[in-house]
Amino acid sequence: MKSFLRKIGGPGPAIIFISALAYRLAYFFTVRDDPLMTYVDAVPDASLFHNWAVDVINGVGLKSAYYIGPAYAFFLALVYKLFGVHLYAVLLVQIVLGAATAALVYVLARRLYGPLAAAVAGGVWVFYLPAVFYDTLVLPASLMLFLVTASLLLLAVALDFGRRWFVAAAAAGLLFGAAALARPNLLLFVPALALWPLLRRVPVWRVVAVFAVPVVLIVGGVTARNKIVADEWVVVSSQGGVNFFIGNNRDAPGSFMPPRGTIGRPEALNEVQTRALAEVALGRPVTAAEASRWWLKRGLRYLVRNGGDAALLYGRKISLLTNNYEVTLNADFGFRRNFSFLHRVPIPYFGLLFAFGAVGLALGWRGEPLGRRALAIFFLSTALSVVLFFVVDWYRLPLAPVLAVAAGSGVARIWEDGRHRRWKAAAFATAAAAFLLAFSWVPGVGCDRDAIATQSYFNYGTYYLVQGDMDEAAAHFREALRYKDDNAYALGYLGLVYERQARDDLAQYYYLKSLEIDPLDAETNYFLAASLARRGKYHLAVPLLETAVGSFPGYADAWRMLGECHIRQKNYAAAAESFRRLVNLTPRDGEALARYAAVSMEAGNFDEGLAAARRAIAVDPDVAGAHLLLGRYYRGRGDVAAAVRELEAERRVAPRSPKVYGYLAECYSVLGETAAAEAAYRRYVALGGAAEGNRDAQEDRDLKNLTD
């Protein structure tokens, strides 16, 4: 036991682990009232990963190339398999991982810079609130930080060329490959590390090679999977091209802003919307890889043609990367002050890490051990990989453990210089750290903090809206508008709240106010159209819905409602086109396929209708309406036995549909089965099938359900 403790640096790692665990559990207690910890639908990436993990444990595999790194989804699936689908179980596992990362930071700092640096680095990571914050969210940050830190520690061990350097290097590569499946931009570290021995002739090529092989195998395995499943070469995920464009276009602020014509839910943004826009531009269907290349070329074209603007843009990104402010993407670090007093303590968390970490990296570049240089290479390559795309808080988070280790070194170096009266060196390092800290506090150029606050209040407003608490929802949307009174989304959703409260005049006022600011906003056009359709004003709803799908071609709900409105106007050809667009977006939606089949037949396109009905049954054997269409078709052709077979199948999936029994009564009568015909007719009458206008009344009820 003593030998083991000596190897890992004594009892320090255990003390750090226990301290970090205790602090994280205490923090968890302070934020337990934050609904977004477990309400994943309000946190876009959390919703994506949660639903994906549930599909994995239910045996539902993704039938396309991965559009986002898959590591966290499978991590969640493992936790769900072990503990059930409980989000608190995920958060507790991540809290343990976060505490383990603190211990790894301590061990890495001790190995590279000594015991004083280790104490500082480990202590810093115990209380580093941005990392603790992410431990309590269903997002990949905790897993990624653990894998990256463990990998860098093993790489540092391998670079000491001890007896088991080969095993350490291979294990480091395995862990880093897994981390890259959570954040693919980390892969830039591998070629950057490979340049090290080439440029400096440092004899570390063996370690670099052994480290790189598992990374290549892991990434290659996922790429091969994408080729096998989707028949296209996609390296890890297909979001790279659109992410590059998001960070490199004339509207780019340097942080995240979804492209025009899209809404920023990742599963829709990467899988449907951006591909739909690429298809419109190219005039043909495209694969995920082709769509990614199209977006990548657009971003590159902007950089080539706008050199001056691009230089300013990259200046903004560097400013955001080094800034103390946490630029939110999914959940707002600053907003947690409403739930935890720990967030109200004005500590410059990232600013301190950056200031002393940069000094430590610079001072520790030369000399032994070689792991120091690997740490610096990781910092530079990962910082570059973030700046190449766009800067948000958890994209830059992998830099934090490296900066914590180096900050421990910087503080220890200043302390030692002062203790040995090397005043000039101590003063220079302190002044450099003070300058960098001050620089990190300068408001990040291109970061609109009011817009981030608006988005945070908007997210909580949508949570209360879904929960049915309209008063709280309205309060949060109004607070969002206090920060940005021209926020079209908040205005539109406030209108939706008032509509749910049956305050139609106020609802329409806010819808129209939203559309004054952004006439092409897809969601507000949809909300107003739904309100009009609910009151039977289909002729007014149709142009609004056409605007919605014109602005956002991937808006499935708008295509669905547009088709329903065309049906009410008996414009079946237009309805068929709307549902055709819908089923292209949602090819496994049996209900949409059945509706497409029905309107195609009404429009006289029987072949298309039959094919759609059969596809609907193939993807969803329990879908209502498809068997009925086939039954009516066979009855019209005189094949009554086939018609009965389909109608009986429809009766099993829709036992309260009067139409089914009406057609069954007719078919059984033709077959001479009087008793069956009479029983079907009695059921038809009991369900109200004989009432005049039954069909129109039922369709109006269907539309009301859709708009609600």
The pLDDT value recorded for residue 696 is 43
698 confidence band (pLDDT: 50, 70, 90): very low
Q: 428 pLDDT exceeds 80?
A: yes
* Nearest residue to 388 via CA among 241, 212, 273: 241
Higher pLDDT residue, 303 or 659? 303
Our separate counts of H helices and E strands in the chain read 36, 0
Query: What tens digit of pLDDT does each residue of 543-578 get?
Result: 999 999 988 887 889 999 999 999 999 999 999 999
The pLDDT value recorded for residue 697 is 45
Query: What tens digit of pLDDT does each residue of 370-380 get?
Result: 899 999 999 99
Calculate helix-pair angle for 538-551, 522-534, nearest 10 degrees: 160
- Outline where DSSP puts E strands in 234-316: none
Query: d(Cα 651, Cα 673) in Å, to the nearest integer?
Result: 17
Q: 672 pLDDT exceeds 60?
A: yes
State both tokens at 18.
Answer: 């226990």
* Nearest residue to 103 via CA among 166, 212, 160, 18: 18
Phi then psi for residue 10, to 5 deg, are: 80, -155
In the chain, the amino acid numbered 307 is G
The pLDDT value recorded for residue 378 is 97
Give the number of other CB atoms < 10 A from CB of residue 368.
10
The arithmetic mean of pLDDT across residues 136-149, rounded, is: 96
**How far lies 81's CA from each of 66, 524, 567, 697, in Å?**
22, 40, 45, 46
Query: d(Cα 430, Cα 118) in Å, to the nearest integer?
Result: 19
The arithmetic mean of pLDDT across residues 580-609, rounded, is: 90
The arithmetic mean of pLDDT across residues 359-367, rounded, is: 85
Lowest-confidence pick of 23-32, 126-135, 581-590 = 581-590
The pLDDT value recorded for residue 49 is 92
Q: Would you say 278 and 554 are in contact if contact means Cβ atoms under 8 Å apart?
A: no
* Nearest residue to 322 via CA among 373, 358, 364: 358
* Nearest residue to 439 via CA among 359, 334, 329: 359
Lowest-confidence pick of 275-289, 346-360, 434-448, 518-532 = 434-448
Non-local (6+) Cβ contacts of 88 within 8 A are 38
State both tokens at 222.
Answer: 């996922």
Half-sphere exposure of 622 (CA within 13 A, CB side): 1
Would you give the DSSP letter of residue 269? Answer: I
The pLDDT value recorded for residue 264 is 56
24 confidence band (pLDDT: 50, 70, 90): very high
The pLDDT value recorded for residue 701 is 44
272 confidence band (pLDDT: 50, 70, 90): low
Query: d(Cα 364, Cα 29) in Å, to the nearest integer?
Result: 39
The pLDDT value recorded for residue 162 is 83
- Specify the residue for token string 């025009």: 260
State both tokens at 694.
Answer: 């039954």
Lowest-confidence pick of 174-178, 224-228, 394-398, 684-688 = 684-688
The arithmetic mean of pLDDT across residues 292-300, rounded, is: 93
Query: What tens digit of pLDDT does each residue of 185-235 get?
Result: 999 999 999 988 776 666 788 899 999 999 999 999 999 999 998 888 888
Query: What tens digit of pLDDT does each residue of 605-618 get?
Result: 888 988 999 999 99
**How far lies 347's CA from each of 27, 124, 324, 334, 344, in Å?**
16, 12, 10, 12, 9
The pLDDT value recorded for residue 637 is 86
Phi then psi for residue 586, to 5 deg, are: -130, 70
Across all residues in the chain, what is the average pLDDT?
88
**How far lies 573's CA from each of 192, 317, 599, in Å?**
57, 49, 7
Give the number of other CB atoms < 10 A from CB of residue 668.
21
Lowest-confidence pick of 33-37, 128-132, 221-225, 339-343 = 33-37
State both tokens at 701.
Answer: 């009820």
Question: How large a percentage of the chain has pLDDT more than 90?
Answer: 57
Query: d(Cα 18, Cα 109) in Å, to the nearest integer?
Result: 18
Q: Would you say 559 and 542 are in contact if contact means Cβ atoms under 8 Å apart?
A: no
Query: d(Cα 557, Cα 555) in Å, to the nearest integer?
Result: 6
> SS3 for 440?
helix
In the chain, the amino acid numbered 708 is D
The pLDDT value recorded for residue 6 is 58
Sketch out the chain's domains with CATH numbers. 2-235+330-441 (no CATH), 248-312 (no CATH), 448-519 (1.25.40.10), 522-623 (1.25.40.10)
The pLDDT value recorded for residue 699 is 42
Query: d(Cα 229, Cα 288) in Å, to the nearest integer?
Result: 12
Q: Would you say 664 and 644 are in contact if contact means Cβ atoms under 8 Å apart?
A: yes
* Nearest residue to 578 via CA among 601, 609, 556: 556
In the chain, the amino acid numbered 576 is A
In the chain, the amino acid numbered 610 is L
Lowest-confidence pick of 149-163, 240-254, 281-295, 441-455 = 441-455
Rg of the chain over CA atoms, in angstroms? Answer: 30
Phi then psi for residue 72, to 5 deg, are: -70, -35
* Nearest residue to 254 via CA among 390, 383, 386: 390
Query: d(Cα 605, Cα 618) in Å, to the nearest integer?
Result: 20
